[in-house]
Amino acid sequence: FRLHSAGIAGIREQTLVAVKPDGVQRQLVGEIIQRFEKRGFQLVGLKLVQPSRDVLSEHYHDLQKKPFYSALIQYMSSGPIVVMVWEGCDVVSVSRMMVGDTNPAAARPGTVRGDLCVHISRNAIHASDSVAVAKKEISLWFHGSELVEWESCTRKNNYNV
Binding site for ligand IDP (CB under 6 A): 63, 68, 72, 102, 120-121, 123, 126, 129
Is there a binding annotation on residue 68?
A: yes
Is there a binding annotation on residue 36?
A: no
In the complex, the smallest distance separating the C-beta of residue 154 from ligand IDP, rounded to whole angstroms, is 29
Strand pairing class (14-19; 125-127): antiparallel
Q: Which position among 59, 119, 126, 143 bears the catalytic label? A: 126
Nearer Cβ to Mg ion, position 129 or 146?
Answer: 129
User: ∠ CA(104), CA(66), CA(75), 5° rounding?
Assistant: 55
Is there a binding annotation on residue 158?
A: no
123 binds, among Mg ion, ligand IDP, none (CB under 5 to 8 A by kind): ligand IDP
- Decide if 61 is catalytic: no
Near Mg ion in 129-148, by CB under 5 A: 129
Is there a binding annotation on residue 113?
A: yes
132 binds, among Mg ion, ligand IDP, none (CB under 5 to 8 A by kind): none
In the complex, the smallest distance separating the C-beta of residue 80 from ligand IDP, rounded to whole angstroms, is 16
Annotated binding-site residue numbers = 20, 68, 96, 102, 113, 123
The catalytic residues are 126
